[in-house]
Amino acid sequence: MGTNTTTGRRGDRPTDDVRLVGPRALRAWITGEHHAHARVFLLESQTGVDAVATVAGADDVVLHPEGVAPRPGPRLVRYSGTLADVGDELFLEGRGVELQDYIAASFVQIVGPTAMRFFDSASWRAFLDDAELARRTGVFAAAMIDPRVLLADRRALARPHEIETPSAIRIDRLGGVHLGLQGAAVGPVEDLSSTLDQALPLSSALGEVPAGTELIAALDARPWIARYLDAADLRKMLSLPNGAAQIAGFGWALLDDGLADAEPSATDPFLLDTAEGFLLADVGTLRRHLLSPLTAAVVDALQTSRTRALAAARVARAQGLPDSQARRLCLDALEVLGVHLGRPIRDTARDGDR
């Protein structure tokens, strides 16, 4: 069905290279992803040093401000600076990370690692507008496909209603316990242990985003946002600028037959049309397969059909094949390539959420 060109798994625990602990921990803290470490704590000051030392385990990392006396305990990474306002920089092991507003990030010159967050409702509305544009045309906002840029609380945007205990924690100067870069206080540092045991929706990390409840409602109206974020990550991973390749579901469809009644599931591999040919790429496993034009058509039919019978009928019609052969090809793709039938298409509610 295809040729496997790259293997690996994004979620595998990396080797514990001490030089990478800090950068990986800071990345996890900004995005909300936590493949490498169980939890990441960021202390803004001396406040909370004792409380964090008490609860942090061997798999946790504590980002500790320079000039503050540490306590014996888990892995400590010192930093200087801050990430509070636009233009702020946090310095970690000799490298700086700058904080930018989402809108500005696509227009300023990016010179190094940059975190972008939503400072006002115009920011997240621009994010949604950019997502809609990418879905219609395949053109992504420049900052979203720049490998130097991290979107704050990316995981919460992708799966706002998923429930879990906190993994990215910030202790502010007054002793408030926050979730990540944009989360409102969820408790006092005196109750840190019980706060960490409390399962919360990932959307809690968006608690300080202006009009955050409206943002969450807008995300609910766009169940494809998680796939959009993965598509942007895919362009980063494969170094594909806008125009370098087409991604199915984002301004392009291989089978443009008007018969699609579904769209790809959020975590399904992506079908791409590249200069090297058709490619099936999975951002979760990092696996890639080169596909023949026929196999690519089968994949597209499966991912945009709710039933295998419809997918097979579309393949037979598009490729001029007997129904039995088309059914066999569809079954092979489902078993071998890790693709799935699509989910029902849900129209985005554009009125009332802008």
Q: Phi/psi at 289 (nearest 5 deg)? A: -130, 130
- pLDDT tens per residue across span 162-175: 999 999 999 999 99
Average pLDDT over residues 12-29: 72
Average pLDDT over residues 141-157: 96
CA distance 120 to 269: 33
CA distance 144 to 83: 19
- CA torsion angle 103 108 109 114 (round to 10): -40
CA distance 19 to 243: 36
What residues does 185 pair with on adjacent strands?
A: 178
Q: Any residues with CB less than 8 A from the CB of 109 and at least 6 apart, and which?
A: none
Q: Any residues with CB less than 8 A from the CB of 84 and at least 6 apart, and which?
A: 99
Look at residue 3 in the predicted model and tell me its pLDDT: 54
pLDDT at 94 over 60: yes
Percent of the residues in the chain that have a pLDDT greater than 70, as a whole number: 91
What residues does 290 pair with on adjacent strands?
A: 3, 279
Look at residue 95 in the predicted model and tell me its pLDDT: 87
Higher per-residue confidence, 211 vs 17: 211
CA distance 309 to 324: 11
pLDDT at 26 over 70: yes
pLDDT at 36 over 90: no
Look at residue 231 in the predicted model and tell me its pLDDT: 97
| Bridge-based pairing state of the strands 176-179 and 168-171 | antiparallel
- pLDDT tens per residue across span 268-290: 999 999 999 999 999 988 899 99
Please name the residue that has the structure tokens 């039933």: 307
Look at residue 118 in the predicted model and tell me its pLDDT: 97
Look at residue 350 in the predicted model and tell me its pLDDT: 38
Mean pLDDT of the chain: 90
pLDDT at 155 over 70: yes
pLDDT at 10 over 60: no
**Taking a C-beta distance cutoff of 8 angstroms, is the pair 300, 254 a contact?**
yes
**Which of 78-82, 206-210, 345-349 shows the lowest per-residue confidence on average (mean pLDDT)?**
345-349
pLDDT at 75 over 90: no
- pLDDT tens per residue across span 293-312: 999 999 999 999 999 999 99
DSSP 253: -
- String of b and e for 314-336 (b: at least 16 CB within 10 Å)? bbbebbebeeeebbebbeebbee
- Measure Cα distances from 199 to 30, 161, 163, 215 in Å: 19, 11, 6, 21
Q: 161 pLDDT band (50/70/90 cuts)?
A: very high
DSSP 141: P
pLDDT at 17 over 80: no
Look at residue 235 in the predicted model and tell me its pLDDT: 96
Look at residue 156 in the predicted model and tell me its pLDDT: 96
DSSP 169: E
**Taking a C-beta distance cutoff of 8 angstroms, is the pair 70, 49 a contact?**
yes
Look at residue 206 in the predicted model and tell me its pLDDT: 96
Q: Phi/psi at 271 (nearest 5 deg)? A: -95, 125
Q: 192 pLDDT band (50/70/90 cuts)?
A: very high
Average pLDDT over residues 56-62: 91
| Tokens standing for residue 30 | 């900004």
**Taking a C-beta distance cutoff of 8 angstroms, is the pair 72, 53 a contact?**
yes
Q: Where are the beta strands (DSSP E) in 83-211?
A: 89-92, 95-101, 114-117, 149-151, 163-164, 168-171, 176-179, 185-188, 200-201
pLDDT at 42 over 70: yes
CA distance 339 to 337: 6
Please name the residue that has the structure tokens 């390749």: 245
Look at residue 348 in the predicted model and tell me its pLDDT: 41
| Nearest CA-CA partner of 104 in 91, 90, 92, 88 | 88
